[in-house]
Structure 1
Amino acid sequence: MDTILLRYTDLPIGERAAFELVCARHGFAPAHFDVTATIDAQDPAQSQRLVTVRRGGWAQSYREGSTGHWVREFETDLNCRFFK
């Protein structure tokens, strides 16, 4: 399966804004994280994205169920101090 790699700046503006707000609420800046997403190159319109957030030696991937859902899961991980 071929995949397309998306960088943070390739994500929809609404998701980036939500991510930035979550980061600010927890004392981080978006620059503290490396955010990438992959989608199926064969059918990008139908495939779910896999969004991966990295910080230091930690990484977590979120399967996109609905638009922006990964941001809520990311905030849950911040609440649990996964990335600290």
Structure 2
Amino acid sequence: MAMRQFAEFPANERQDLEALFRQVGLAAQEFEVFDVNGTSARQVTVRRQRTGAESVYEAGPGSAWIEEFESDLECGLFGQVFTQ
């Protein structure tokens, strides 16, 4: 299984996630984001360093992991955020 840090993600995913962080008033540096490409499906792990909150998202073709992460942010899974 190969692990990649966020800086190695496809450009469109990095841009979408960075735009989401700006939208909710958070810095990307507050989060650790990495993926693991296993034998079945790619999984993205997002961990907020300050709170230790973490979630894993399926991230294969046709997936919407960034939208799922956004939903988790809005419901408070990663702590308080300010949506605009």
TM tier, shorter chain? 0.7 to 0.9
Alpha carbon RMSD of aligned pairs, Å?
1.5
Q: Which runs of 5+ in 2 are unaligned?
A: 80-84
TM-score by length of 1: 0.83
Equivalent in the alignment of 1:83? 78
Q: Would you identify which runs of 4 or more consecutive aligned residues in structure 1 move more than 2 Å?
A: 65-68
Query: Percent identity, aligned pairs only?
Result: 34
Provide structure 1 residue ranges, at least 5 long, that are not aligned to the other structure. Answer: none
How many residues are paired up?
A: 77
Q: Tell me the TM-score normalized by structure 2.
A: 0.83
Q: Tell me what 2:4 maps to.
A: 6
Counterpart Cα distance in 2 of 1:68 and 1:20: 18
d(CA) in 1 for partners of 2:7, 2:21: 16
Write the distance in 2 (CA, Å) between the matches of 1:35 and 1:67.
Answer: 20
